[in-house]
């Protein structure tokens, strides 16, 4: 049993899909959330930069004596895998839990992953999934570079023409394809899940990397004896390197967990 908080980070509000999923599973845990929207988007950045960012973001969270860290960010999870693996606090990403869930999808229909450009081009999602499936299924990767900055700018409603146009532009090449499952490999995408469903149709099963990772972290804490014994009453502290007011305006209604106050975090230099 360990009452210390869990750290979560992302380039912005996308990580809240991870926090929401974790809170549902672990309502008694305390969380420290770091949204680095001052440096978003992470998606177009080179691997070396993403590795430095991952270390800086985790060092920021480490000041709060966190017992474990979730990189609630597909881009960091794929580009900075070794940084997470070597970190002195147990640190997890969203890639492995998401790929475990995708590889377990029954049947032989193709599987699709949508994520940031860095995530798709790294091969850590698509090539790794092909390998897990022993190259017996077609794996389709689709980069959606417009989505995360658009979501961060506040375009999130399924009826918003900006959202509808961006979804159509990115996903037109796969519309009508009969996938066994489609993975939301960027944590921001869960926020526009309904618009993605509207465009692709309800028949394509969507999997959320954030939800898969939340479940895996929950299992890890239980197995390692690190879970908080409290069953309710967990708290969350929020830090933002961009605009805390903008973050609060989204986070409060999205999380449905009472008032959200975000403290300003330093904008870290690369």
Which residues are known catalytic residues? 73, 186
Quick one: tokens of 111? 């599987």
**264: number of Cβ within 10 Å:** 13
The helix (H) or strand (E) run that includes residue 93 is: none
**30: number of Cβ within 10 Å:** 19
> Which residues are at the interface with ligand DGL (CB under 6 A)?
10-11, 14, 40-43, 73-75, 116, 119, 148, 186-188
Residue closer to ligand DGL by CB (options 75, 126) is 75
What is d(CA 70, CA 7) in angstroms, rounded to the nearest whole number?
Answer: 6
Residue closer to ligand DGL by CB (options 152, 227) is 152
Question: Considering the complex, what minimum distance in angstroms separates the CB of residue 244 from ligand DGL?
Answer: 18
Quick one: tokens of 260? 């959200």
Q: Residue 17 in contact with residue 190, Cβ under 8 Å? A: yes
What is d(CA 211, CA 141) in angstroms, rounded to the nearest whole number?
Answer: 20
In the chain, which ranges are E strands? 6-10, 31-35, 68-71, 91-92, 111-115, 139-143, 181-184, 206-208, 236-240, 262-264
Question: Considering the complex, what minimum distance in angstroms separates the CB of residue 148 from ligand DGL?
Answer: 4
b/e for 134-153, b at 16 or more Cβ within 10 A?
A: eeebebbbbbbbbbbbbbbe
């Amino acid at each position: 049993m360990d009452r210390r908080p869990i750290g979560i980070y992302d380039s912005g509000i996308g990580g809240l899909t991870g926090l929401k999923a974790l809170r549902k599973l672990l309502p008694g845990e305390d969380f420290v959330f770091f949204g680095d929207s001052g440096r978003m988007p992470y998606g177009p950045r080179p691997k070396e930069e993403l590795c430095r960012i991952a270390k800086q973001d985790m060092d920021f969270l480490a000041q709060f004596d966190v017992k474990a860290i979730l990189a609630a960010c597909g881009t960091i999870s794929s580009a900075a895998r070794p940084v997470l693996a070597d970190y002195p606090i147990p640190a997890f990403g969203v890639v492995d839990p998401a790929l475990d869930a995708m590889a377990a999808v029954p049947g032989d229909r193709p599987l699709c992953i949508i994520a940031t450009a860095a995530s798709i081009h790294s091969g850590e999602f698509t090539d790794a999934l092909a390998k897990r499936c022993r190259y017996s299924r077609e794996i389709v990767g689709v980069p959606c570079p417009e989505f995360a900055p658009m979501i961060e700018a506040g375009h999130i409603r399924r009826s918003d023409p900006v959202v509808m146009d961006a979804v159509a532009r990115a996903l037109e090449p796969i519309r009508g394809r009969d996938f066994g499952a489609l993975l939301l490999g960027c944590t921001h995408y869960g926020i526009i899940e309904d618009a993605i469903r509207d465009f692709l149709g309800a028949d394509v099963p969507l999997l959320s990397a954030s939800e898969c990772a939340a479940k895996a972290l929950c299992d890890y804490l239980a197995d390692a004896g690190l879970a908080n014994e409290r069953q309710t009453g967990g708290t969350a502290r929020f830090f933002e390197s961009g605009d805390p007011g903008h973050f609060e305006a989204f986070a409060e209604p999205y999380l449905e967990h009472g008032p959200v106050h975000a403290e300003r975090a330093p904008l870290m230099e690369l």
